[in-house]
Chains A and B, each alone.
Chain A
Amino acid sequence: QVQLQESGPGLVKPSQTLSLTCTVSGGSISSGDYYWSWIRQPPGKGLEWIGYIYYSGSTYYNPSLKSRVTISVDTSKNQFSLKLSSVTAADTAVYYCARGTTVTTLDPWGQGTLVTVSS
């Protein structure tokens, strides 16, 4: 079955760009009409939807993050990526990637990766 795994730096300095990659195994990222999504969860808090890239290449972002977020796909590596610019301590969170059959039907999820923003 399809599995997702997040990777990237666990520590990012304020004002820099957070970059994460989600590697998809057990299936091709370019097969099927899926919504490749990113979600985050600050420590002790709730889930926040970041955005997704549809198989067609269209992207949709949380309006509150839209000016700082870019989601892209690398089909040759079977990966999709998240970039969040101008980070602050408020961006400290566990970041999850997930595959959606609709925007809200997310399954499976990656295990999550903690990114801390600190100098």
Chain B
Amino acid sequence: QSALTQPASVSGSPGQSITISCTGTSSDVGGYNYVSWYQQHPGKAPKLMIYEVSNRPSGVPDRFSGSKSGNTASLTISGLQAEDEADYYCSSYTSSSTGVFGTGTKVTVL
């Protein structure tokens, strides 16, 4: 299984909105509503930010939102804050009953 495709980096100024894309195939992203997004700060374990495409776990700010269209899922961060600077990974269920992660996106707050 191939990793899902994400842009290597995305940047924005405080207060702006940014969107990270996650492109797969009909055998993963496009075939199931089981897409999650994780935030990872350096030296830390990943943290679940979005699950099942657009649901936020308790405690995650509503600045984070998720969506999907066809084989591409997206994570939008609105009102970008300094603490949002981190690596972000998408993940999808696959037709093999396994999971697959995206290549990862480094978010920089200018």
Mark A residues whose CB is within 8 Å of B.
37, 39, 46-49, 51-52, 60-64, 96, 101-107, 109-112
Instruction: Give complex CA distance A76, B78 in Å.
Output: 46
Q: Take A103-B34, A103-B98, A106-B36 as given contacts and tell me if A46 and B104 are in contact as well, using a CB distance cutoff of 8 Å.
A: yes
Q: Is B64 interfacial (CB 8 A cutoff)? A: no
Residues on the B chain within 8 Å of A101, using CB: 51
Residues on the B chain within 8 Å of A105, using CB: 34, 36, 48, 51-52
Q: Is B46 interfacial (CB 8 A cutoff)? A: yes
Q: Take A46-B3, A49-B91, A62-B1 as given contacts and tell me if A106 and B98 are in contact as well, using a CB distance cutoff of 8 Å.
A: no
User: How many residues does chain B have at the interface if contact means C-beta atoms less than 8 Å apart?
Assistant: 27
Q: Is B108 interfacial (CB 8 A cutoff)? A: no
Chain A CB within 10 Å, residue with most, of B45, B96, B97, B98? B45
